[in-house]
Structure 1
Amino acid sequence: MSGKRILITGAEGYLGSIIAPFLIECGYEVTGLDTGFFRDALLYTVSPYRVVQKDARDFTVEDLKGIHGVIHLAGISNDPFGDLTAEAIYDPTREYALHIAKLCKGKGVRFIFASSCSIYGKGTGVFLDESGEVHPQTPYSKNKLEIEEGLKRLADQHFSPIALRLSTVFGLSPRMRFDIVINMFVGMALTSREIVLNSDGLAWRPNVDIRDVARAFQAAVESEYSEPELLIVNIGRDDNNLKIRDIADLVAGETGGVAVKLLKENPESDKEGLVKSQVVQDGVDTRTYRVSFAKMKKWFPGFKCLYDVESGVRDLIAGLRELKLDAKLFKDRRFYRLQKIED
């Protein structure tokens, strides 16, 4: 395993800031490629790794020299963006993802795409697997699906790309995100002694600790998969499929029994506009799905997710307390992707 050279696009984001140092610790030689937009959005010091400042749209075959595998994280991770159309935002990310994949195909380089379980969108109550129907509810999710479809068309006997459909990620990262559900709930509980839900909390979500995400990408790098089609694998664990309200109650319990409120009934609790979501209408979030991870166990037999939500939340609470997280830092717009980009 050691000595393999891995290129990570979007290496200076929430995920890349954990994945890159982890792979280096495991003996890989890692190079990041990033625009640097979030470089200074640091909650704490990041372990050093080499990053080439470059836009993914400018990726060339020269960037693949000596590379064993590409982990493609670069993209846009929020909906919506003011007056910009979804096409204006997401079409370029699809184009450069597939451009990089084509270059990898030409050079015999493994291509691993960070997809999302949000593609499932609106489930029917059953546990969804990779062969089931998908109903993406947002431009972000539709973009992930479009890239998967493009990779399916590229795959052949000489190119076996992998798409990891990540559950909703949570956990501590140097380039923190407080705009994702568990991280936001923990930040609220620690800094304001209340948790505010932007919906009724009845929607289901699969969740995965960011440390397990790093290990999943390593498993994909080491996989001997060589079939002439795109391998799609859900990443998570069965017992981390939880309702939003149950997650809030768990976090509340782990932080001393803080209050859980609904934004619809307490609009004054979101003066900064960090909690409200335009995807949620009248307190209802249509994005609700539970996911099966049986295929992950088949294709990555030596891998399993180690952290359930309860243990991951406890570690996150301990980490944020050690960093002395306060309300000012928690509400810093650098840690909210939409707000940071708008600024």
Structure 2
Amino acid sequence: MPTPFMTPASSDHLALFHNSLRNLSGLRPTLGAVLRISTDITSIWIAFLFGWLIIGGHNLAELIAPHSVWIALLIGLLSIVQIATYTAVGLYTCPGSYSLSTKIYLIVAANLTLLLIGSGIMSITAAPTNLNFGLLTTTLVASAIPLSLARVGSAVLRMENWQGDGSRQHEEADDNKVLVIGGAGYIGSALVEELLNLGLQVSVLDAMHYGEETLSRVAGHQNLKIVREDFRHIEALTRAISGVGSVIHLGGLVGDPACAVDTDLTVDVNVTATKVIGEIAKARGVHRFIFASSCSVYGASDQIVNEDSHFNPQSLYARSKVASEAVLNSLNDHNFAVTCLRFATIYGISGRTRFDLVVNLLCAKAVRDGVITVYGADQWRPFVHVQDVARAITITLRAPIELVAGDVFNVGSDAQNYTLGEVAELIKRQAPDAQITADDTFLDKRNYRVSFDKIRTKLGFEPAWTLERGIAQVLAIVRSNQVGHYSLPTYSNVLYLKECGTKSFGSFKITGWENDLMNIDHIHPAANRSAA
């Protein structure tokens, strides 16, 4: 969803111009956008015809006469300029992010600006016959009325749909209802099935960038509701959150390479939006909020790290997780229980297969290319299967709320801390024809071994999958040709962004506070503050 057009200070003109271009390029031919644009063009022409017929005393025959046809063409050009202006300020690309009064203000401001520009042009050029300042004024000023009324009508309809009989507006949070943001992704497609098997009513809020087939195994389930929207769309987000007892936030750009493609977009999607989601969830009475973080926040360490260790993130992705944890930590209180789960490096097959994860990628290359290329064989990483991640989330969701409120847990197992060289050897045992090659020219500073004692002792979580079993699963899938070539963009977050671009994700609305939070090195858990 493109970014709202903000009124900048004088020093922000470049950012304003940049956001305008983002909004223009982010316009998509959705049904809502087409209806809005069609209504607005109709309003402009109604205002012009009112000025031509009623104020000017002309008739339609005069309008199509040879000496007046230029007026119709100019008004058509004016309507195109108006629509482009409305797009630039975000009225079509992010209407849900504006209040009604802001929309009306933008319409009036845009029309007055065009009136001043048009009047200036008319004062220095010869206008066609019958086109005068009065007609131009009537067209631009009068059109603001139906344009504004259209927004009022839309707001009223949404309010009626939202309130219904008056009870939905204050719908109580139901602990049997769960919203999974990003539920069609790699983790989400595994998690949703787990939640449905528990008998929960599950809503998925996802823009479906990678297609809807990721949830094909549960499509049509009576307890599943899919909302195909960007989670940065405020109205859609608020509707989706209303009445749910728990929110599981898996949405965002994932992976170091993918996040590096567009840094501003990454901060917007991963940090700014997380703050908005957390605040809306808290305001709507949600009881539990589970956030998908990452063990990559530890970055580089020669020691075995745990949940109390200081951060040392080595990438924008990791720093975005640090900032998101800090934001959500500040929202935790006795009515809003926030839990952050720091996942180990994930592997395995789910509804949305990925081959941009180290284990999955090396397995695919072993089968397809006969080569297992390792970058930094001595680097330590913790690993966990995607199904075990889904199970860890459900365990957290069902745990006594006082046990997880304001707390953070590493998700994985001590036994699955491996060096990348050891991972390559495990793969070769099951793909003996592949050759291991080392490439130390690529410098990756990440190196961390993680303790998972806390989630084991406090929540009783133990992974069901071993790395060897997960490798066998991935190798079998690749060998069976059930999936396409591992290099296809659909299997890689970074390749998808490079192939399809970032326009489908819209623009950004970074405000400045995000960078400060991405540079902190430690968070004192809210649970500890409460206990103190």
TM value normalised by structure 2? 0.57
CA–CA distance in 1 between the matches of 2:230 and 2:260?
23
Shift of 1:256: 2.3
Shift of 1:288: 0.6
CA deviation vs aligned residue, 1:3-28 (integer Å, no higher than 9, x gap): 82211111111111111112212222
CA deviation vs aligned residue, 1:229-248 (integer Å, no higher than 9, x gap): 62110000111000011101
Residue 225 (structure 1) aligned with residue 381 (structure 2): no
Match of 1:283 in 2: 442
Match of 1:140 in 2: 317
Residue in structure 1 matching 2:291, options 110, 113, 117: 113
Match of 2:48 in 1: none
CA deviation vs aligned residue, 1:58-84 (integer Å, no higher than 9, x gap): 144332223121110110113346996
Residue in structure 1 matching 2:241, options 64, 86, 93: 64
Match of 2:218 in 1: 47
In 1, are the aligned partners of 2:190 and 2:386 still within 8 Å (CA)?
yes
In 2, are the aligned partners of 1:178 and 1:184 still within 8 Å (CA)?
yes
Shift of 1:225: 2.8
Q: Say which SS state the counterpart of residue 232 (structure 2) adopts.
A: helix
Q: 1:228 to 1:332 in 2, by over 3 A?
A: closer
Residue in structure 1 matching 2:469, options 293, 311, 315: 311
Q: 1:74 to 1:319 in 2, by over 3 A?
A: same
Match of 2:490 in 1: 334
Q: 1:246 to 1:70 in 2, by over 3 A?
A: same
Match of 1:276 in 2: none
Query: Given residue 17 of structure 1, which amino acid in structure 2 is its aligned partner?
Result: S
Match of 2:272 in 1: 95
What 5-or-longer segments of structure 1 have no aligned partner? Answer: 265-281
CA–CA distance in 2 between the matches of 1:61 and 1:324?
38
Larger Rg: 2
Match of 2:459 in 1: 300
Aligned length: 319
Query: Given residue 53 of structure 1, which amino acid in structure 2 is its aligned partner?
Result: R
CA–CA distance in 2 between the matches of 1:33 and 1:284?
37
Larger helix percent = 2
CA deviation vs aligned residue, 1:305-336 (integer Å, no higher than 9, x gap): 111211221222233334445xx622212111
What 5-or-longer segments of structure 2 have no aligned partner? Answer: 1-173, 500-532
In 2, are the aligned partners of 1:156 and 1:228 still within 8 Å (CA)?
no
Match of 1:271 in 2: none
Larger strand percent = 1
TM value normalised by structure 1? 0.86
Shift of 1:50: 3.2
CA–CA distance in 2 between the matches of 1:235 and 1:79?
19
Residue 186 (structure 1) aligned with residue 371 (structure 2): no
Match of 1:24 in 2: 196
Match of 1:13 in 2: 185
Residue in structure 2 matching 1:260, options 401, 419, 436: 436
CA–CA distance in 1 between the matches of 2:175 and 2:320?
33
Query: Given residue 295 of structure 1, which amino acid in structure 2 is its aligned partner?
Result: K
Q: 1:334 to 1:261 in 2, by over 3 A?
A: same
Query: Given residue 220 of structure 1, which amino acid in structure 2 is its aligned partner?
Result: T
Match of 1:268 in 2: none
Q: Say which SS state the counterpart of residue 196 (structure 2) adopts.
A: helix
Shift of 1:47: 3.4
Residue 241 (structure 1) aligned with residue 397 (structure 2): no
Match of 1:207 in 2: 383
Residue in structure 2 matching 1:175, options 349, 352, 355: 352
Higher relative contact order (CA 8 A, sep 6+): 1
